[in-house]
């Protein structure tokens, strides 16, 4: 059930109605409805893997309680590692087994030893990377005494499987989400209206921006040899816009949907393409994952406390692991490594926390220096996205060599459709720029008079209907 | 909550009204004419209707006979042009119709266009019979593609809304209009129709299959069935005056069989053309350029056939 599907458009109002009109009297009934509807939502993808989700939830619920009840540190460690090993074990089997076995076979073949690797024909359970990380953060937080173990399975079940975040995040923390699940939600008009606005903006990002850019990017990435350097560069830019529109659009729909149920999820994007350096970009892109790796990997590894070498080592580790989290392919690892390289100068010079505020705060336009910084950061991310988008490293290198050829400065031949998409993308970035001080681009629109506001909403809906691109699955669903 | 639901309702109504206006002003969906089934079982449009195709600059009109396009019945040497939506040609100006273009090449002839979306081969033959008894054309030009033949046969699948033939009983089965009142409502409310086209959840597989013009390689060739079909045509229609104009990519085996049974055939070829005949990437209907190229090829081959026929 995709967020941009008719089935979700039917599912959401039904659950909304039941939640506020039938199951609204008691906390237990609210949570029970959310749990059942979330499992139904997941079962629409795959009812078989619903049992894996249930098992993972039961495991973390049980080990969490065991960690809390343990009488000594050894027992606590045992239950923690049991949860980590089983959770990562499932992730490893479903997502990484084939990659490791094939890479091992490739390595042996370099030494002249040929083996036929025994690979598994498994379908990756949707959302496994996300709900595994939910569960891990929960048991680690209990181990670190940051939270108490949850005693109510329904509440814990909702924390792991709440349908807006189940398949592609944001990766929630028990410290943030569980307290909201533990208290009865009452309807808040402004929260619900804001939620609707965020859903609308998310749908626009996905249907108009991402899906249209996808068509153009796919066309160029599928036939790189048929395009000039300038067209290949344009293809990479289209992909950069696609992945942002796609994933931040998904996140906006997820956050907006959760708000309709009186729940605030973690912010996942904060206008990353307006970043002035790579460090700022990574504070603004997929925030829930970046902060997860910071809290559960970077800091436990020593963070930046152990001197320059430690900082460099830990930065490389989290970027490589982050890349690998996205998929079992060398392209993702290189993408992670490239970003680590990008960020390294600022880490070494200690300037990685220079740009903590909002760009051009209280100004309409950025300064020339800021504009140049934004452009440079965007150009670097675009080059890295080529590895992320390519099927294999060879293809990515071929694509890059195509860009940096004599034809880079030739005028790109683009279709009439591409011109319209460029105009729409321009409009999209203008709205995002205006709204960059806010939680999401449209959240400050409530200050406008109602007729103007409604005309704007209607305009967005109209653009969605007229310029809706060919439906594509959300990119992050594969992770 | 009440305020929220009320706002949502009012906003939805506002969107519906504004949407309806914008769709009508900018012609974002085609106007679809209403049909009726005449005494002979042929589906025609109710005369006098007019409207616009999506983003069209020129309106279409339904003539007194229940079709769109030329109806030059006064000319003594009349050629009828029968076919499906390609001949109906709502999407292009009337000057791009086959009738208008062929008239340019053959000014001495009159042309009568009888095109309707979804016509099968056997229904086209029925239309030719009907025209023979009413306006008496000298020749009938039937524009056909691969799927028109298989769609004519009930033994593959009974398509209840089009004319088909039951080969076992040698019987023509008339089509019926599917939920005409519901369709009228759908086509009248432009927003509803727009949403229906955007989210085609109600379009059944039968309809989808029916409107696809497939190439020869994807169509199974049932020689015995096609033989029987042409046998029936030989016995029930005036095939000597009927010329089949095969769309590009038509199955050569069908063309060969048609010739063996006495049909005159005109074969269209777009393979040598660098420019596409289609309207756009998503719509395979011929553009004005496509129609002009078709008319050019039809004229060339038709002139030869007419000379041949005069010699016989």
Distance from CA of B31 to the nearest CA of A (A): 18
Interface residue B1 vs chain A (CB under 8 A): yes
pLDDT bin (cut points 50, 70, 90) of residue A478 is low
Across B254-273, average pLDDT: 91
What does the pLDDT read at residue A471? 66
The verdict on a CB contact (< 8 Å) between B4 and A6 is: no
Which chain A residues are closer than 8 Å to B194 by Cβ? 465
What does the pLDDT read at residue A109? 86
Give dist(CA B267, CA B91) in Å, integer. 24
Could you write out the DSSP letters of every residue in B241-266?
GEEEEEPTT--HHHHHHHHHTT-EEE
- Half-sphere exposure of residue A315: CA atoms within 13 angstroms, side-chain side: 24
Which option is the CATH number for B38-179+205-311: 3.40.50.720, 3.40.50.1110, 3.40.30.10, 3.30.10.20? 3.40.50.1110
Q: What are the structural domain ranges in chain A?
A: 6-186, 190-276+355-478
Interface residue B7 vs chain A (CB under 8 A): yes
- This complex has an ipTM of 0.76
The verdict on a CB contact (< 8 Å) between A189 and B8 is: no
User: Which residue of B7, B19, B201 is in closest CB contact with A6?
Assistant: B201
Name residue B50's beta-bridge partners.
B61
The more confidently predicted of residues B249 and A385 is A385
Interface residue A465 vs chain B (CB under 8 A): yes
Give the chain B residue nearest A195 (alpha carbons).
B4
Across chain B, what does the average pLDDT equal? Answer: 86
Give pLDDT tens digits for A93-127.
Answer: 988 888 888 888 888 888 888 888 787 777 878 88
Phi, psi of B108, deg, nearest 5: -80, -15
Give pLDDT tens digits for B4-33.
Answer: 999 999 999 999 999 899 888 888 888 989
The verdict on a CB contact (< 8 Å) between B15 and A461 is: yes
Give dist(CA B239, CA B250) in Å, integer. 19
Is it true that the peptide bond before A170 is cis, omega within 30 degrees of 0?
yes
Helix (H) or strand (E) holding B36: strand B35-37
Give dist(CA A260, CA A19) in Å, integer. 10
Task: For the beta carbon of residue A422, count every other beta carbon within 10 angstroms.
Answer: 18
Which chain B residues are closer than 8 Å to A466 by Cβ? 28
pLDDT bin (cut points 50, 70, 90) of residue B216 is very low
Interface residue B8 vs chain A (CB under 8 A): yes
Task: Say which range, A221-225, A464-468, A469-473, B111-115, has the weakest mean pLDDT.
Answer: A469-473
Which chain A residues are closer than 8 Å to B202 by Cβ? none
pLDDT of B203 strictly over 50 = no
Strands B110-115 and B78-83: parallel
Give dist(CA B244, CA B140) in Å, integer. 8
Across A212-226, average pLDDT: 92
Q: How many CB pairs under 8 A join A and B?
A: 28
Q: Which of B2, B3, B4, B8 to mutate to test the interface with A (most CBs of A within 10 A)?
A: B4
Strands B264-267 and B242-246: parallel
Residues 432-461 of A with CB under 8 A from B: 454, 457-458, 461
C-alpha distances in Å from residue A167, one per residue of A246, A264, A266, B108: 14, 17, 15, 69
CA angle A338, A343, A345 (to 5 degrees): 115
Across B67-94, average pLDDT: 89
Contacts (Cβ under 8 Å, ≥6 apart) of B43: B35, B36, B37, B116, B123, B162, B163, B175, B177
Residues 87-106 of A with CB under 8 A from B: none
Across B98-116, average pLDDT: 93
Task: For the beta carbon of residue A458, count every other beta carbon within 10 angstroms.
Answer: 16
What does the pLDDT read at residue A343? 95
pLDDT of B199 strictly over 70 = no
Residue A92, token pair as written in the block: 């490893």
Across A335-363, average pLDDT: 92
By percentage, how much of chain A surpasses pLDDT 70?
99
Helix (H) or strand (E) holding B82: strand B78-83
The more confidently predicted of residues B148 and A414 is B148
User: Which residue of B4, B11, B18 is in closest CB contact with A192?
Assistant: B4
What does the pLDDT read at residue B54? 83
pLDDT of B213 strictly over 70 = no
C-alpha distances in Å from residue A260, one per residue of A253, A279, B213: 11, 33, 46
pLDDT bin (cut points 50, 70, 90) of residue B139 is very high
Helix (H) or strand (E) holding B81: strand B78-83
Q: What are the structural domain ranges in chain B?
A: 38-179+205-311
pLDDT of B218 strictly over 60 = no
Give the chain A residue nearest B13 (alpha carbons).
A458
User: Which residue of B4, B14, B198 is in closest CB contact with A189?
Assistant: B4
pLDDT of A254 strictly over 70 = yes
């Amino acid at each position: 059930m995709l967020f941009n599907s008719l089935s979700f458009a039917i599912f959401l109002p039904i659950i909304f109605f039941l939640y506020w009109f039938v199951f609204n009297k008691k906390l237990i009934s609210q949570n029970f409805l959310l749990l059942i509807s979330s499992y139904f939502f997941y079962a629409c993808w795959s009812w078989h893997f619903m049992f894996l989700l249930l098992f993972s939830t039961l495991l973390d619920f049980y080990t969490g309680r065991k960690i809390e009840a343990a009488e000594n540190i050894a027992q606590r460690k045992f239950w923690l590692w049991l949860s980590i090993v089983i959770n990562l074990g499932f992730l490893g089997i479903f997502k990484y087994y084939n990659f490791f076995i094939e890479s091992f076979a490739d390595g042996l073949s370099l030494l002249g030893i040929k083996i036929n690797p025994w690979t598994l024909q498994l379908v990756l359970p949707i959302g496994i990377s996300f709900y595994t990380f939910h569960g891990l953060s929960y048991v680690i937080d209990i181990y670190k005494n940051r939270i108490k173990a949850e005693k109510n399975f329904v509440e814990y079940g909702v924390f792991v499987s709440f349908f807006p975040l189940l398949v592609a995040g944001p990766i929630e923390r028990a410290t943030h989400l569980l307290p909201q699940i533990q208290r009865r939600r009452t309807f808040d008009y402004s929260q619900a209206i804001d939620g609707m606005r965020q859903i609308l903006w998310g749908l626009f990002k996905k249907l108009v921006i991402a899906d249209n850019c996808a068509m153009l990017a796919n066309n160029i990435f599928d036939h790189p040899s048929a395009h000039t350097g300038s067209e290949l560069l344009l293809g990479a830019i289209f992909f950069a816009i696609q992945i942002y529109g796609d994933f931040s659009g998904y996140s906006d729909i997820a956050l907006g949907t959760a708000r309709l149920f009186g729940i605030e999820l973690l912010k996942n994007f904060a206008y990353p393409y307006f970043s002035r350096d790579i460090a700022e970009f990574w504070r603004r892109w997929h925030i829930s994952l970046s902060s997860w790796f910071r809290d559960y990997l970077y800091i436990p590894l020593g963070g930046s406390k152990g001197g320059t070498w430690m900082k460099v080592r830990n930065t490389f580790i989290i970027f490589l692991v982050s890349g690998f989290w996205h998929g079992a392919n060398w392209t993702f690892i290189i993408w992670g490594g490239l970003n680590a390289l990008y960020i390294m100068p600022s880490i070494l010079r200690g300037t990685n926390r220079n740009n903590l505020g909002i760009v051009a705060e209280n100004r309409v336009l950025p300064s020339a220096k800021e504009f140049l910084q934004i452009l440079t950061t965007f150009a670097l991310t675009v080059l890295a996205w080529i590895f992320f988008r390519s099927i294999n490293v060879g293809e990515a290198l071929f694509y890059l060599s195509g860009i940096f050829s004599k034809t880079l400065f030739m005028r790109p031949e683009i279709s009439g459709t591409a011109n319209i998409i460029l105009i729409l993308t321009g409009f999209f970035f203008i709205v995002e720029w205006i709204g960059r001080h806010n939680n999401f681009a449209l959240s400050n629109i409530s200050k406008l008079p109602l007729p103007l506001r409604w005309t704007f909403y209607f305009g967005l809906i109209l653009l969605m209907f007229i310029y809706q691109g060919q439906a594509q699955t959300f990119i992050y669903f594969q992770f | 909550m009440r305020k929220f639901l009320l706002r949502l309702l009012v906003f939805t109504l506002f969107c519906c009204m504004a949407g309806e206006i914008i769709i009508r002003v900018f012609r974002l969906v085609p106007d679809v004419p209403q049909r009726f089934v005449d005494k002979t079982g042929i589906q025609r449009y109710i005369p006098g209707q007019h409207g616009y195709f999506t983003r069209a600059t020129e309106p279409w009109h339904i003539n007194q006979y229940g079709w769109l396009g030329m109806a030059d019945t006064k000319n003594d040497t009349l050629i009828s042009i029968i076919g499906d939506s390609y001949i109906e040609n709502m999407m292009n100006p009337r000057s791009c119709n086959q009738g208008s273009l062929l008239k340019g090449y053959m000014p001495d002839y009159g042309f009568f266009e009888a095109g309707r979306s979804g016509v099968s081969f056997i229904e086209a033959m029925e239309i030719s019979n009907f025209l023979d008894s009413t306006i008496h054309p000298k020749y009938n030009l039937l524009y056909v593609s691969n799927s028109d033949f298989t769609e004519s046969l009930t033994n593959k699948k009974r398509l209840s809304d089009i004319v088909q033939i039951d080969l076992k009983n040698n019987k023509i089965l008339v089509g019926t209009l599917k939920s005409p009142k519901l369709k009228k409502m759908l086509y009248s409310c432009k927003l509803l129709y727009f949403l229906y086209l955007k989210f085609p959840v109600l379009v059944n597989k039968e309809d989808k299959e029916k409107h696809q013009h497939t190439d020869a390689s994807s169509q199974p060739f049932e020689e015995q069935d096609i033989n029987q079909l042409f046998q029936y045509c030989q016995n029930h229609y005036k095939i000597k005056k009927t010329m089949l104009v095969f769309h590009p990519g038509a199955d050569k085996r069908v063309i060969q069989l048609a010739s063996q049974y006495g049909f005159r055939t005109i074969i269209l070829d777009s393979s040598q053309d660098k420019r596409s005949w289609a309207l756009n990437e998503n719509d395979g209907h011929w553009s004005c350029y496509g129609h002009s190229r078709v008319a050019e090829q039809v004229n060339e081959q038709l002139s030869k056939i007419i000379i041949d026929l005069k010699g016989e």
